[in-house]
Every structure is written in structure tokens, then in C-alpha cells.
Amino acid sequence: MIKHMSFSGQGLRIDDLIALNDEIAALARAGMPLERGLMGVGGDLPGRLGKIATELGKRMERGQSLPEALASEGAGVPATYRAVVEAGMRSGRLAEALQGLAGFARSYVELRRAIGLALLYPVLVLLLGYGLFVLFVLELIPRLHGAFDALRVPFQGPVVALERMGGSVAIWGPVLPLMVFIGWLLWVATGRASAFQPGKIGRGLRWVPWMGSILDGATAAQFADWLALLVEHDVPWADAVTLAADATGDGRLSAAARRMAEESRRGQPTSSTVRRAGGFPPLLLWLMGVGRRQDTLVQALRHAADTYRRRSFRKAAMLRVTLPSILLILIGATTTLVYSLTLFLPWTTLLNGLTRFK
């Protein structure tokens, strides 16, 4: 009896998904039967990837299609990936569809790595400053209180608030480390394959400057590429637009595509269904309306995909350059300023008290 295994149980990461995707694309380009190819590749791949590939091959050998075999593995395989595979198989160009997804996935991994490196130093500065502050209110403030009393200077002003904070450090002290730990767990989750949906991915990263527009541009580029691929290979319009939208993982695009497909199946003109659909970038709406009438849709969609992709790459390059500086100013400089004020305010209070005493 073959033991069932799950991607979610294996904790599949995006890097693992990319590696598996490359193997499937290579088999498709070579024209080999996927079930035998995956079982053969599974014996060569190490550890988790080998087991995954072998299990997929066994499922296909029992009669399941590749999308069905992927769906059987549960939530660990993102729905977006299954939709891309379905679109590729419907168009007869599985390798090209997988190659497009792999390019997006690698770009996301690089961006995620750049953001992680940019966050590392400011977060370390924040934790160091926070630790010094906790040490200051626990150790130094009580000693300063004794110095104030010995010099007969009133213990008042900011030092009183700092002393009270020291008394309640057990309550507020763990808050920041806990927040950083939770943030780290969320960050790790963005690297799992189950979180990889180009239209939804990185929701927790959209606070990063330009990240939202980068992801939106990449999603539009992928939709245009996949729609062009499906239309070029004579997939019916209603099915093509739905498959391409589902492959992006963007809920708005999928809902708009289904409305468009339903109206198209009822015999409504393309121009009117496109105008009422909404949910798509304006350029794509215009191209879908005009391009179908003039039989230039495939070429126009590929040109639009290149435009969206180049725009996203420019913003991604800008993000890699500017994000470290922005985070250093927002986190590092602010932490340093707060710690400096905390350190010097008690001393200035003490000196002012001695001056009045004289």
C-alpha cells in the first residue's frame, strides 16, 4: 500500500517548488511521459524533493492527470501553481507556462532576500537599543536615584517616569522581542510554497515602499503572457480568460474573468463584456476589447506583458537600492535618538538640580 504524503506536511518551500517546477518543465520540453520521468527524477533528487517527485509520478501512473496529482497533495501546493499547470496543458505548451511562473517565482525570491537583508541590520540595532534601554531603567536609574538623594537634589521630571517603567518592566519588557519573533514567523511563512500566489503573495510585505506596485505589475504581466499563450493555441475565449486569471491567484482578476466568460458564453459582444468586467488594469481591458476585433490580441498582450515586466523590474531595482537606507533611517536612527535622550535626560536633570542647589 502506497503511503500518502502531503506537501503541506513536508513544509515545501518556494525554492523547492521552483526546483520541482524546473524538473517538470524539462520533462515536458523533452517530450517524455511525465509519470515515468517524475519517478525517474525522484530517484536522483535528494530528500524531500525526490519523495515529492516520486509520489507525483505514482499518482499519474494510477491514472491521475498532473493537475489532479498536484491537487491530491493538499494545501501545500498553491492553487496558483495548479492553475498554471492546467493552463499549460490546455494550451499544449506546459513547458512555456511553467517557465513563466518560474521567472516570477525567482524574482520574488530575490526580492524577498533583498528585503530580509535590508531588515536585518535595523532590527538588530532596534533590539540592541531596546536591550540597553531595559538595562538602563533596571540598573542605572535606581543608582541615579541614590545619587540624587545623596546630593539632595529632588528626584523629579523624566527620571520619575523612567523609574516607574523599571518597576513594570516585567509587563512591557517582553513586548518588543515577542513582536520581532512573531514578525520572524510571518516572514518564514512567506517563504513557504503554500503562500506562493502571485496575485496575493506578499500581502504582509505590501507596507514596503513600491512592493505593492511591483507585485501588481508582475501579476498583470503574467496574466497577459498566459492569456496570449492560451489564445494563440485556440483555447476558447471564455476558458482562456478564466484560466489565465486563475493562474495569477488574484481574486479580483478571477472574479472579473468569470463575469466576462459568463457574458461571452451568453453571446454578448466582447467589447461590451470587457467594458463591464472591471477588475483588470485599464491597458489590458482596452487590449482585450480592441485586440480581439482586429485579430492582434496575442501580439498586443505579449507587448503589454513586456511593458509591465520592465516596469516592475525597474521598481524592484530601486527597492533594492533604497530600502536599506529607508529602514536604517526609520528604525536605526530613531532607536539611537530615543536611547540617547533616555541616557542624557537624567544627567541633565541632575546637573540642573545641582545648579539650583548652589
**pLDDT of the chain along its 358 residues, tens only?**
333 444 433 457 788 888 888 888 888 888 888 888 888 877 777 777 778 888 888 888 888 888 888 877 666 677 777 778 887 887 777 887 788 778 777 877 887 887 788 788 888 888 888 888 888 888 888 887 787 777 777 777 777 887 888 888 889 889 999 999 998 888 887 777 766 665 455 555 566 667 777 778 888 888 888 888 888 877 888 888 888 888 777 777 788 888 888 877 777 666 666 666 667 788 887 887 776 655 678 888 888 888 988 888 888 888 777 877 887 788 778 877 777 777 777 777 777 777 765 5
Domains of the chain, residue spans: 7-77, 111-358
pTM exceeds 0.85: no
Cβ contact 157:356 at 8 Å = no
Q: Helix or strand or coil: residue 222? A: helix
Q: Which three cell numbers stand for residue 3?
A: 503511503
pLDDT of residue 6: 44
Q: What integer pLDDT is reported at residue 180 of this predicted model?
A: 92
Q: What's the confidence (pLDDT) of residue 209?
A: 66
In contact, 48 and 29? CB cutoff 8 Å: no
Please tell me what DSSP assigns to residue 2. P
> What is the DSSP secondary-structure string of 118-183?
HHHHHHHHHHHHHHHHHHIIIIIHHHHHHHHHHTT----THHHHHHHHHHTHHHHTTHHHHHHHHH
At 4 the three-state DSSP class reads: coil
- Residue 207 pLDDT: 63
Q: Confirm if 123 and 323 have CB atoms less than 8 A apart.
A: no
User: So what's the pLDDT on residue 177?
Assistant: 92
